Structure 1
């Protein structure tokens, strides 16, 4: 009588990494399928920043002075690129919270799949969403007469800084979504996105604000990215004398790295504790 033995599964680090990527892409495709099922919601998310540009640039632009001269659209649009990265935080929080509240996340965790695939898949899908949203914003800016005057390499560097900020905010959104008790809690957190966005250099020069408020605006991570991208695009900006303003490009890298260093481990720890 003969017996057959099944080969032992390959548990090498390279094999585990490959399975993690495959599982993550499966989750990504699941998240992307929601685009097809809810195209209206996705389209509104992409076009809302364009509406903001038209509203602020068209309605208020004539009353807002641009530091050093130049058109307000040229000042506003790079800031709105950064603001668009912040808006993505809301969709990440809501998606993660909804999956957790419906038990979808727990079902995924009970399956024979990589433990990191759920959050990695969500991250990939949201980054793809942000790339499309940023491309739409750039197209809208070009139609409105905005131009990247600094050259191709500088423009690509600016896009890289914007996506780095989005990647950092992605982990903030995942963590908040995991610790929230439900979508209702996320709604209250979403309200804070607006003060964070407006208390920055996205729309106006912080020098026009009261001293203490302007200082807070200058240290806003959104301001660092907005200021750095304006410089790389060679668009009108503001040139304050503080250290944070003079080193905006450096801080546009350090702020996201700090957020990633804090919230990525927190997200991983919280995900492992779900259902515990």
Structure 2
């Protein structure tokens, strides 16, 4: 199933091109268009703050890509053909999510290089940095499973595309692009408890970049533990839900 998705991308390379270029575009847009209007507490370079947040936002992209892929296969009858073959129900979504993680890993390379060019640096050492990238791929795996469940639930490619726009709100309502300290109290609480904020703060911590504020909520004050906790809970929920939905979906 992993090979099938790789061959599918070769015939339609648009997804690969978007994965390579979209994070870099966001970095240049937010870093240079809005960067001069964002002031960090204690000073610091906004673009160095932004790059780890964009890593986390890229990991969230697994929701959109997996949702579209799953809904497309269902609508075109591919899922029905797979059900006639002697294979595990786990194999289909597992192969798709594995491919999505590989695609995300490739997309981290140009973003890291572009981030380095605009001033971002890894200041925490090679070991913590490797842990940060591993955390990003784990979170991409989590969001891919969630996206496949949504795609099987919607069943229609058009519906998945319409809902896809809402997935961009996940990193916007977090600390991925701006610090949450200046938000109203209720909004800051929602942003700090957003799993994206925990992943973004964990990446900044592991890369040796900006630290969370002293009065931050628990997920942002303990981002690595919160990120791993979110990942464990979401995988425990959506892996069996996706496999069950695949087994029950029809036509």
TM-score, length-normalised on structure 2?
0.95
Q: Which residue of 2 aligns with 1:246?
A: 221
Q: Is the 8 A contact 1:67 1:236 kept in 2?
A: no
Equivalent residue of 1:191, what SS? helix
Deviation at 1:45, TM superposition (A): 2.6
TM-superposition CA deviations, 1:205-258 (whole Å, max 9, x none):
111111100110000000000001101111124324232322111101101111
Matches within 5 A, 1:147-226: 147-226=121-200
What TM-score, normalized to structure 1? 0.87
Larger radius of gyration: 1
Contact kept? 1:75, 1:237, Cα under 8 Å: no
Structure 1 gap segments, 5+ residues each: 1-26
Q: Distance in 2 between matches of 1:86 and 1:142?
A: 22
1:146 Cα deviation from its structure 2 partner:
1.3
Q: Is the 8 A contact 2:48 2:120 kept in 1?
A: yes
Superposition deviation, residue 182 in structure 1: 0.1
Distance, in Å, in 2 between the alignment partners of 1:157 and 1:180 is 35
Return the alpha-carbon distance in structure 2 between the equivalents of residues 230 and 68 of structure 1. Answer: 16
1:50 is aligned to 24
Equivalent residue number for residue 258 of structure 1? 233
CA distance in structure 1 between the aligned counterparts of 2:210 and 2:88, rounded to whole angstroms: 47
Counterparts of 1:253 and 1:155, CA distance in 2: 16
Residue equivalent to 1:275: 250
Aligned to 1:156, the other structure's residue is in SS state helix
- Could you tell me how far apart the structure 1 residues matched to 2:186 and 2:71 are? 35
Aligned equivalents of 1:207, 1:245: Cα separation in 2: 11
What is the match of residue 34 of structure 1? 8
CA contact (8 A) 1:57 1:72 kept: yes
> Runs (4+) of structure 1 moved beyond 4 Å?
none
Match runs of 1:225-244 below 5 Å? 225-241=199-215, 242-244=217-219
